[in-house]
Amino acid sequence: MATEEGLVDALRREARGERTLALTLLSAAIAALVLSPVAWILLEASTVGFARAVNLLAGARMVQVLVNSLLLVGIVTGASVVLGVPLAILTSQTNLPFRRFFTVAISLPLVVPSYIGAFAYFTGFGEDGALTAALADAGVAVSLPEMTGLVGTAVVLTLFTFPYVFLSTRASLASFDGTLLEAARTLNHSRTSAFFRVVFPQVLPGIAAGGLLVALYALSDFGTPAIMGYDVFTRILFVNYYDFQLAALLSVQLLAVTAVIIALESAVESGDASGYASSNPDAATRLELGWLKGPALVVCSLVVVAALAVPIVVLVLWLVRDTGQTGFGYAFSWEYGWNSLSVSVLAAVASILFALPVAYNSVTDDGRLSRLAERGTYVGYAVPGIVVGVALVALGSKYAPFLYGQIPLLVFAYVVRFLPQAVGSVRSSVLQVDGRLTEAARTLGHSPRAAFRKVTLPLVAPGIVSGAALVFLTTMKELPATLLLRPGGFETLVTYIWMVQESRHYGKAAVPALVLVGISAISMLVLLSRGGNDVT
């Protein structure tokens, strides 16, 4: 903290020039630009007359969509907590065997993009599913239930997002002050009772934070409900996006639900978790599982099988089964991979260019406008990709026909969605810059610009690189905005998967899906190396 204040003061002193204002204005302009899709939605929605709005939204179908969405969010969040919290406790607070292995294996489902998980469950399960057939061939006659509708959507989203709760709960358990537990024990509480009376309230904010991520993911996910045929906001938006007024109204509703979820989470959030972080509890404070050890191992293994083994196995099954006969016209081409690569690089570069002034300015100047500008760029975290896509289709086709259906607009959609990752990354590394170094450079006669280039930039470079990497990797697997905004004749790995999935040429999806899972695994490594619980 001391460093940060020192830096802030130093930078502020230094920046007392006209450059500050220019930089602030630039940041504000960037924020305004990435906020423009949301602004359009609000404007467009406000042009819908009240009577028509009621008519559109109060219809049985739209009410059903709202109910479906809320139901899905509730079930997935609840199930993720039920799954994630005990698993976090088991792997961090008990004497469960293979704790390290399970910790990694239980976190890994995050590397499977949910639409690929949905693809695996939708095509693998059921009477005629690929997995059912393979098991039957192997002499194991089990009838795997069909995965469709609400059940399928909820199962898949839970399996591939509960690690958010798992990780955030583990994090808050790790930062828990172990001495408190000991104090409770001295007050004659049993170990279990002490755990629930002392530990649990302390980790609740952590659980809530993970739950928030899961809830927002479940609400904004497009691919899974679309594959499962379950009508939620995102699916209806995608089907009706050409009706701009309806799309705007639905988006407003979706954003409103998002806001409520965020508000609920911040109500749970308490002050900072206090005290000393005790790393892992030592043997004395570990809960003894006793006879529960066996069942606990079974549960952990089942979760790993369901969330990790099943999708990979189903994809490999499709890979082996793909005879290529029915997929004529859908031949896979590495050109799609190249296209994915190029737009992702463009998105990463553009995001960093946008993030640099915003992050730098937010550290050097804490005026209201600067703070607003920084917050504004975080909009991508809360606004679902389908909403960004729909808004840009409308904006582009109405006001910027030269951009509509072109790569720059697609890249801009990625920037809106993933700029927060870049800003967060760059900002945290800018904060680590020791202001005295910059001052030293200035006393040595360097201009502010030269000082920035020679001292600050090399120091923030790691943040820039990891920010760019994150944007690159999340762009690679982005689905809804890519579907809506890709130019004619331009297919990426993701749109190709979507195309063959829609046309039931499942085998064709195996290669690109496995490639994407691999790429996501790399993005997980980047996240872990950054040491945060950042979300993508």
Partner 1 sequence: MSEDDGPRRRLGRREVLAASATGAAAATAGCVGSIFGDNNSENELSLSDFRGSGPFVSGRPAPDGTSMDDLDDLSGTLSIYIGGGEGGLYRGLIELLQQKYPDFDAQLKSAPSTQLANTIIQESENGNPRADVFWSIDASSLGLVANAGYATSLPSAVTDPVPSELQDSNGRWVGVAGRARAIPYNTNRFSASDIPNKVDAFANQERFANSMGWGPTYGAFKSFVTAMRIMDGREATKQWLQGMLDQGTEEFRDEYFVSRGVATGAVSAGFANHYYALRVKAARENPPIDLAFTENDAGALVNVSGVEIIEGTQRSDLAGLFAEHLLTAEAQEFFATRAYAYPMIAGVQPVGDLPTIDELNPPELDLTELSDLEPTLELMREVGVL
Tell me which residues touch partner 1 (CB under 8 A): 60-61, 127-128, 148, 229, 238-239, 241-244, 326-331, 333-335, 397-398, 401, 404-405, 483, 486-489, 499-500, 502-505
Does residue 328 come out as left (phi exceeding 0), alpha (psi in the -120 to 50 range) or beta? beta
Give the nearest distance from C-beta 505 to partner 1 in angstroms. 6
Give the nearest distance from C-beta 194 to partner 1 in angstroms. 52
Helix 334-364 and helix 493-502, axial crossing angle in degrees, nearest 10: 130
Residues 6+ apart with CB under 8 A from 2: none
Name the helix (H) or strand (E) containing 253: helix 244-268
At residue 405, the 3 state secondary structure works out as coil
Give the nearest distance from C-beta 2 to partner 1 in angstroms. 56
Contact predicate 383/255, CB 8 Å? yes
Tokens of 446: 């360097």
Contact predicate 10/438, CB 8 Å? yes
Tokens of 318: 């499709």
Query: 122-153 burial by CB neighbour count: b if 16+ within 10 A, else e?
Result: bbbbbeebbbbebbeeeeeeeeeebbbebebb
Q: Where are the alpha helices (DSSP H) in 48-148?
A: 50-57, 60-93, 99-107, 114-124, 130-137
Residues 6+ apart with CB under 8 A from 320: none
Specify the residue, 410 or 460, whose C-beta has the smaller distance to partner 1: 410
Specify the residue, 270 or 333, whose C-beta has the smaller distance to partner 1: 333
What is the distance between the alpha carbons of residues 125 and 127, in angstroms, rounded to a whole number? 7
Give the nearest distance from C-beta 91 to partner 1 in angstroms. 38
Give the nearest distance from C-beta 410 to partner 1 in angstroms. 13
Tokens of 92: 């961090």
Q: Which residues pair with 94 in a beta bridge?
A: 287
Give the nearest distance from C-beta 474 to partner 1 in angstroms. 23
DSSP 8-state secondary structure symbol assigned to residue 455:
I
Give the nearest distance from C-beta 135 to partner 1 in angstroms. 16
What is the distance between the alpha carbons of residues 343 and 494, in angstroms, rounded to a whole number? 12
Specify the residue, 88 or 247, whose C-beta has the smaller distance to partner 1: 247
Give the nearest distance from C-beta 368 to partner 1 in angstroms. 38
What is the distance between the alpha carbons of residues 449 and 23, in angstroms, rounded to a whole number? 13
Contact predicate 163/110, CB 8 Å? yes
Specify the residue, 207 or 500, whose C-beta has the smaller distance to partner 1: 500
Phi, psi of 175 (to 5 degrees): -90, 5
Give the nearest distance from C-beta 152 to partner 1 in angstroms. 11
Contact predicate 417/480, CB 8 Å? no
Specify the residue, 499 or 521, whose C-beta has the smaller distance to partner 1: 499
Give the nearest distance from C-beta 326 to partner 1 in angstroms. 7
Give the nearest distance from C-beta 405 to partner 1 in angstroms. 5
**Residue 23: how many other CB atoms lie within 10 Å:** 20
DSSP 8-state secondary structure symbol assigned to residue 276:
P
